[in-house]
């Protein structure tokens, strides 16, 4: 069940890039609406669940959820701003080094034993992500401000995963996710206001894409991921999420007429191979 939830989460999250492309709005604005819609939709079931919980929700769990939401908002802010400054490719690539930080955090904080096969699989998976993000990336990469922001976003993304794994020990998926989404929404609102990015005045079509992004990516996607994080080690979930570019590429092919190159197929194969190695390394550790 945990692995099924993880697969559904990857597919839902992989659609996010498609929704952003179709919405044609600034990244931080689209991210705000994505978080806002998810928070509104899940408010009623969250409070219903909270009232029926014996003894109320864990205060420690709520605190971890709020901190996790701050980390996630920071990830979106730095990543989206990096994309606006330095283009989509390099900041996105550097944001995807988050599994490395998660692996280190799992080793230091959770005392998870990571076998050499884990690191080999992680390296292969990230190599595949490089190929997916562009064949000519290594020849044109420069470390500008956009790249730095992309790298910073990976640290926040790692923080979100770590806080979620800790918080899910005290709260269920929904009980953890809603406070995290609320705190993240507030941070994104403040950021957009400070940066004077327009929150209104878009076409009805754009708002429909905001709605789709909020319902599918934010509600379905992250509930599935949070559920998986509550039952699987963060060092497994994070590398598996590298499959998002594969999902995005496969969907963009027929929908946006983006033809896949041989490097895309090679990168996808590398990601899948790396993920399989990561899973096997964890299974060997448990035995």
Q: Is the pLDDT of residue 142 over 50?
A: no
Question: What pLDDT does 250 receive?
Answer: 74
16-25, 198-207, 228-237, 256-265: segment of lowest average pLDDT: 256-265
- How many of the other CB atoms lie within 10 Å of CB of 52? 7
pTM: 0.78
Q: Helical H runs in 87-172?
A: 89-95, 98-108, 116-133, 137-140, 145-167
Q: Interior CA angle at 109 toward 11 and 178, to 5°?
A: 45
Tokens of 47: 């409070």
Q: How far apart are CA 250 and CA 35, in angstroms?
A: 25
Q: Which of the 8 DSSP states describes residue 96? A: T
Nearest to 275 by CA among 66, 60, 126, 87: 126
pLDDT, tens only, 45-95: 888 888 887 677 889 999 999 999 999 999 988 877 776 676 555 566 667
pLDDT digits (tens, 9 = 90+) for 184-209: 999 999 999 999 999 999 999 999 99
CA distance 96 to 270: 15
């Amino acid at each position: 069940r945990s692995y099924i939830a993880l697969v559904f989460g990857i597919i839902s999250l992989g659609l996010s890039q498609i929704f952003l492309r179709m919405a044609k709005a600034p990244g931080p604005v689209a991210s705000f609406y994505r978080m806002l819609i998810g928070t509104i939709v899940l408010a009623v079931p969250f409070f219903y669940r909270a009232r029926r919980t014996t003894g109320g929700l864990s205060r420690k769990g709520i605190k971890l959820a709020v901190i996790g939401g701050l980390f996630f908002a920071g990830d979106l802010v730095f990543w989206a701003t990096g994309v606006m400054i330095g283009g989509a490719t390099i900041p996105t690539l550097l944001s995807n080094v988050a599994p490395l930080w998660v692996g280190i955090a799992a080793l230091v904080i959770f005392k998870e034993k990571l076998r050499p096969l884990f690191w080999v699989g992680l390296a292969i998976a990230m190599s595949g992500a490089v190929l997916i993000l562009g064949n000519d990336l290594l020849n044109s990469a420069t470390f500008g401000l956009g790249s730095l922001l992309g790298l910073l976003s990976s640290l926040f993304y790692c923080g979100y995963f770590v806080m979620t794994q800790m918080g899910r020990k005290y709260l269920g998926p929904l009980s953890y996710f809603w406070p995290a989404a609320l705190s993240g929404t507030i941070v994104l609102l403040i950021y957009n206001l400070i940066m004077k990015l327009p929150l209104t005045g878009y076409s009805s079509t754009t708002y429909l894409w905001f709605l789709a992004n909020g319902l599918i990516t934010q509600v379905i996607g992250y509930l599935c991921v949070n559920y998986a994080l509550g039952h699987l080690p963060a060092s497994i979930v994070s590398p598996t999420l590298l499959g998002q570019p594969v999902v995005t590429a496969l969907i963009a092919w027929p929908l946006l007429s983006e033809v896949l190159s041989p490097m895309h197929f090679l990168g996808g194969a590398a990601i899948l191979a790396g993920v399989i190695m990561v899973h096997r390394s964890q299974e060997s550790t448990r035995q």
